[in-house]
Amino acid sequence: MQVLVFAPHPDDDVIGCGGSIAKHVAAGRAVDVVYLTSGNAGSITIDKDTLGGMRENEAAQAARHLGVRDLTFLRQDDGYLADTPALATTLIELIRKHRPDIAYVPHAQDRHPDHQTTHTLAVKAIGQASGPHFQGARGEPWAVPTVLAYEVWTPIQRVQYLEDVTDVVGRVRGALEFHQSQLELLDYQAMKDGLAQYRGSVLGPNRRAEAFEIVTAPSSSFTQ
């Protein structure tokens, strides 16, 4: 079973669905991550050229800690991610290459423009990858059965699925710790854990969870 995560910036994968990634890996599933930008605008002190490389390195270490198999950096312009035919074709080809059973994307109401664009681009590419059209994109058609939308800093209004990540909280914390360039700006650990506590509270005392909207699902197994 294959899992593919679309992340607008390095760290969105860990914050949005890092616990779910760790659980997939523990269950023997191959997880790959595609980063649309390398987050090179994410600092007020480090210049863009330096920061892009730094953040790719941070993402690689964090992903390795979670057990991710393969990373793809598309190096689009951080803060100005745009829906272009070339990028759309690249995403279709990546979906056809990785053939995921589950894809993760940011949720549609995320207020960060790059996250919104990633949602739109990824969901559109998932639809287009499934059919025989778009002959400009290489690869055999592949329909992704399950698509889940994760939250970063804009909470999901209509939660449709909760993943209990209590058992992997330490692993996610360890992964997030590699994103030092971002932790210098804000206490992401407290923010991630606060959100996981809030989402987990409905599952029972001291539970941690990640919340999702269901974009597509093959059966009722993902309904809450």
Residues in contact with Zn ion by CB under 5 A are 8-9, 12
Gyration radius of the chain over CA positions: 16
Q: How far apart are CA 136 and CA 117, in angstroms?
A: 21
CB 21 within 8 A of CB 5: yes
Shortest distance (Å) from residue 211 CB to Zn ion:
17
- Position of minimal CB gap to Zn ion: 9
Name the residue with tokens 């730094």. Answer: 54
CB 215 within 8 A of CB 175: no
Instruction: Give 36 or 129: the residue with its C-beta nearer to Zn ion.
Output: 36
Instruction: Give 12 or 210: the residue with its C-beta nearer to Zn ion.
Output: 12
Shortest distance (Å) from residue 69 CB to Zn ion:
22
Q: Where are the beta strands (DSSP E) in 46-106?
A: 70-76, 102-106
Q: How far apart are CA 190 and CA 152, in angstroms?
A: 13
Instruction: Give 25 or 81: the residue with its C-beta nearer to Zn ion.
Output: 81
Shortest distance (Å) from residue 199 CB to Zn ion:
19
165 CB contacts (<8 Å, ≥6 apart)?
A: 18, 19, 20, 22, 23, 172, 196, 200, 208, 209, 210
Instruction: Give 80 or 133: the residue with its C-beta nearer to Zn ion.
Output: 80
Shortest distance (Å) from residue 39 CB to Zn ion:
7
Instruction: Give 8 or 18: the residue with its C-beta nearer to Zn ion.
Output: 8
Shortest distance (Å) from residue 12 CB to Zn ion:
4
